[in-house]
């Protein structure tokens, strides 16, 4: 029993849930949850069932600590909060049957774009494997196709990596608003991902140039300001 | 970005954009302080591609272009913009604790004889300009702004600003807090208290000026009137501070004892040879003295917001309000527009950063702008441009998982960038360890 309590304390400690902040009912619920995990193991399905119970048990424990205790991300736990018991069982059956599960989130687009730029010859299966390794989600080829098409990643050659500031075109900025036809669209037609040389020359007549009196006149101070340090005379 | 775009949409309805400089000017003025650009002329060295895209173009804007835009802002257009972007929803139908105070921007011009005012941080009477803000001290958000020349004082604007918050904000109950500058004369105190008397849902508390004859009266109060309270010392292990609170009334000049003002006298006992500190408060409320004092002390959040504005958002670099084209430099005209616009944009940025902090972990809830900028905003990354989207892929950094909910929210808004052929904005983080699963 002493070992159990030590392990329970360690479980809380590893999940950054201070024991002192728990009320007696919360502690009792978590102890029961801990015993359940000890009994049934820490596989995905046990944790998923347990998370559904804890998230809907009105224990007063916030989502983030519960997610840490059960090894889910906070956003995943938040998503689980809105599901009914039926949906959870359906999703579990779906996953048990070996079908695809998980969802391609918009924030996955960055790593996928990087992958496509780094490995332009990669097949869709390579990409699916990358997604599974990176985020642990298994999606169908059709879902991946829709995702890539939605964000313009379906043709690798059309993904352009904008250069870092040190590599950027060092032309002096003009400050003019960009025009529609000087876009990177032309650049995007290139076959290889190359740095974009963006020009901001506005077509004549589209944006009127401000008159000269729009800008401040040059400084009219006749001599250096009195606050300037006096020159050394030796 | 979506919030800045909302401000830009509002600004398009308010400003006459004759030269097409509104978009770049406004977005640059919003994002430059956010990324830590201290002065407008630092734009000359800015070559960051991400900053260029943020500010509505493909190359970084020039200071002449942005400076030209903000110098030509008309006061009535700026007023319209401020009215439409004030976050009145924060206090509509609610009980609000709002502080009104001024921030003084010192000016060092010798060429133009602009009006002088007292600058407390420099402890001197000098040329300056002022920004008056209303500030919700419980939510820590700016509510409204007014720019003035340096000789205008809080007492001149206390009543109009309170009326504005009452009429536009429509709170269920407003408790207005003022520093001593709002009640330099008894007539100013009476004006505020009269407003509170005429408005059923208004309570006014202001610090009383410590004029010698008043202090003498308060010091002569019988000791039995004071109730002692203890509060924690300045540091862990420090002896507790002793406060003594008394409730009395003060008769204002030219009035009878029937019109005496309720006064909470706070005596802070200072151990050692130094004399005690006295903090008298006039109030129109009926709350307990300790409650009045605790409410008033929250005004410190407003002062703190000014410090954050000055040091993290470079508020003192707001453009000057005096007109450099005035025919007589000894009597320059005052242009309220540029000063008030930049002051208000910085306040909106402050509010937006505060909103971001609330969405992060608890330790970032009241984080300063500089903290969030250092931790989350100024991060290197890679930009990918596709025909459909601009993908911002941030390099890994410690604590990035805190940003996941905010990033998911931004991505879910399907925000499109008008100056990039309506491409969709997508934010991405470097994937964390495999244990952190992405989907449910």
A184 — pLDDT class (breaks 50, 70, 90): very low
Contact B403, B429 (CB under 8 A): yes
Q: For residue range A191-221, what is the model confidence (pLDDT) as tens digits?
A: 333 333 333 344 444 566 667 666 677 666 6
Contact A216 B67 (CB under 8 A): yes
Q: Within an 8 Å CB–CB cutoff, is residue B392 touching chain A?
A: yes
Residue-level pLDDT at A214: 67
A60 — pLDDT class (breaks 50, 70, 90): confident
The verdict on residue B403 lying in a domain is yes
Spell out, as residue ranges, where chain B has pLDDT lower than 50.
434-440
Q: For residue range B311-323, what is the model confidence (pLDDT) as tens digits?
A: 999 999 999 989 8
For the cut 50, the answer to whether the pLDDT of residue A177 exceeds it is: no
Please count the residue pairs, one from chain A and one from chain B, whose beta carbons lie less than 8 angstroms apart.
200
Q: For residue range A132-141, what is the model confidence (pLDDT) as tens digits?
A: 888 888 888 8
The verdict on residue B438 lying in a domain is no
Contact A73 B438 (CB under 8 A): yes
Residue-level pLDDT at A2: 45
Between positions 109 and 148 of B, the ones with CB within 8 A of A are 110-111
User: What is the pTM assigned to this prediction?
Assistant: 0.77
Residue-level pLDDT at B294: 92
Nearest by CB: A177 against B57, B72, B380: B57
| Sign of the torsion angle spanned by Cα atoms B145, B146, B152, B157 | negative
The verdict on residue B86 lying in a domain is no
Q: How far apart are CA A135 and CA A104, in angstroms?
A: 9
**Domain end among B20, B53, B72:** B72
Between positions 257 and 296 of B, the ones with CB within 8 A of A are none
Residue-level pLDDT at B293: 93
With left for phi above 0 and alpha for psi between -120 and 50, is residue B260 left, alpha or beta? beta
Residue-level pLDDT at A173: 45
- Shortest CA distance from B55: residue in chain A: A177
For residue A215, the SS3 value is coil
Residues from chain A that touch B412, judged by Cβ atoms under 8 A, are 106
Residue-level pLDDT at B233: 84
The verdict on residue B415 lying in a domain is yes
Q: Within an 8 Å CB–CB cutoff, is residue B47 touching chain A?
A: yes
Which residues, at least 6 apart from B305, have a Cβ–Cβ distance to it below 8 Å?
B133, B135, B140, B142, B350
Contact A178 B404 (CB under 8 A): no
Task: For residue B6, give how far its alpha carbon lies from the nearest alpha carbon of chain A (Å).
Answer: 19
Q: How far apart are CA B298 and CA B415, in angstroms?
A: 37
The verdict on residue B362 lying in a domain is no
Mean pLDDT of A53-78: 84
Residue-level pLDDT at A210: 65
Domain of B23?
A: 1-33+43-72
Q: How far apart are CA B236 and CA A225, in angstroms?
A: 49
Residue-level pLDDT at A172: 43
Question: What value of ipTM does the predicted structure carry?
Answer: 0.77
What's the total number of domains in chain B?
2
Residues from chain B that touch A171, judged by Cβ atoms under 8 A, are 59
Residue-level pLDDT at B272: 83
- Shortest CA distance from B384: residue in chain A: A161
- Shortest CA distance from B51: residue in chain A: A165
- Shortest CA distance from A67: residue in chain B: B436
Angle, helices A124-135/A109-118, rounded to nearest 10 degrees: 130
Q: Within an 8 Å CB–CB cutoff, is residue A188 touching chain B?
A: yes
The verdict on residue B7 lying in a domain is yes
Contact B438 A108 (CB under 8 A): yes
Q: How far apart are CA B8 and CA B1, in angstroms?
A: 10
Angle, helices A85-96/A44-55, rounded to nearest 10 degrees: 170
């Amino acid at each position: 029993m002493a070992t159990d309590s030590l392990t329970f304390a360690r479980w809380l400690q590893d999940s950054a849930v201070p024991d002192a902040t728990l009320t007696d009912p919360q502690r009792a619920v978590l102890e029961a949850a801990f015993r359940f995990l000890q009994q049934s193991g820490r596989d995905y399905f046990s944790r998923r069932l347990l998370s559904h119970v804890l998230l809907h048990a009105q224990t007063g424990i916030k989502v983030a600590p519960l997610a840490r205790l059960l090894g889910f991300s906070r956003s995943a736990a938040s998503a689980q909060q809105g599901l009914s018991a039926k949906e959870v069982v359906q999703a579990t059956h779906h996953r048990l049957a070996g079908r695809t599960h998980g969802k391609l989130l918009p924030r996955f687009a960055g790593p996928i774009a990087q992958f496509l730029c780094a490995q332009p010859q990669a097949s869709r299966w390579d990409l699916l494997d990358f997604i599974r390794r990176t985020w642990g989600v298994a999606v169908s080829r059709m879902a991946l196709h829709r995702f890539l098409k939605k964000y313009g990643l379906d043709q690798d050659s059309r993904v352009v990596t904008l250069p870092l500031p040190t590599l950027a075109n060092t032309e002096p900025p003009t400050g003019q608003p960009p025009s529609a036809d000087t876009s990177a669209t032309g650049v995007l037609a290139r076959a290889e991902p190359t740095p974009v040389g963006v020009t901001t020359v506005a077509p004549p007549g589209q944006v009127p140039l401000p008159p000269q009196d729009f800008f401040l006149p040059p400084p009219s101070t006749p001599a250096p300001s009195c606050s300037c340090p006096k020159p050394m005379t030796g | 970005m979506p919030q800045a775009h909302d401000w830009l949409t509002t600004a398009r309805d308010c400003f006459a954009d004759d030269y097409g400089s509104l978009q770049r000017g406004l977005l640059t003025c919003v994002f430059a302080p956010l990324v830590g650009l201290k002065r407008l002329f630092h734009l000359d060295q800015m070559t960051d591609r991400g900053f260029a895209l943020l500010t509505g173009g493909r190359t970084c804007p020039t200071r002449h272009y942005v400076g030209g835009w903000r110098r030509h802002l008309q006061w009535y257009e700026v007023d319209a913009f401020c009215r439409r972007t004030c976050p009145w929803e924060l206090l509509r139908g609610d009980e609000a604790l709002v502080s009104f105070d001024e921030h003084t921007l010192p000016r060092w011009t010798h060429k133009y004889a602009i009006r002088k005012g007292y600058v407390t941080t420099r402890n001197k009477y000098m040329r300056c300009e002022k920004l008056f803000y209303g500030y919700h001290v419980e939510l820590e958000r700016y509510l409204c702004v007014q720019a003035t020349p340096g000789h205008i004082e809080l007492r001149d604007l206390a009543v109009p600003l309170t009326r504005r918050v009452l009429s536009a904000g429509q709170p269920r109950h407003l408790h207005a807090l003022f520093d001593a500058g709002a009640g330099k004369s008894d007539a100013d105190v009476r004006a505020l208290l009269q407003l509170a008397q005429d408005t059923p849902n208004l309570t006014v508390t202001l610090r009383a000026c410590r004029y010698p004859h008043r202090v003498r009266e308060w010091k002569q109060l019988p000791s039995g009137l004071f109730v002692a309270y203890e509060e924690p010392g300045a540091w862990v292990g420090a002896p507790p501070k002793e406060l003594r609170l008394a409730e009395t009334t003060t008769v204002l000049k030219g009035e009878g004892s029937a019109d005496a003002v309720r006064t909470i006298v706070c005596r802070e006992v200072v151990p050692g040879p130094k004399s005690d500190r006295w903090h008298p408060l006039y109030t129109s409320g009926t709350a307990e003295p300790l409650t009045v004092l605790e409410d008033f002390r929250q005004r410190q959040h407003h002062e703190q917001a000014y410090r954050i504005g000055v040091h993290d958002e470079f508020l003192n670099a707001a453009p000057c309000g005096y007109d450099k084209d005035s025919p007589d430099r000894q009597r320059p005209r005052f242009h309220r527009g540029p000063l008030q616009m930049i002051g208000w944009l910085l306040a909106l940025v402050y509010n937006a950063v505060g909103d971001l902090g609330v969405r992060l972990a608890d330790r970032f809830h009241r984080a300063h702008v500089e903290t969030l900028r250092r931790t989350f905003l100024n991060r290197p990354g890679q930009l990918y441009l596709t025909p459909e989207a601009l993908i911002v892929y941030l390099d890994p950094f410690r604590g990035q998982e805190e940003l996941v909910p905010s990033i998911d929210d931004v991505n879910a808004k399907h925000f499109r960038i008008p100056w990039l052929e309506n491409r969709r904005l997508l934010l991405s983080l470097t994937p964390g360890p495999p244990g952190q699963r992405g989907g449910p």
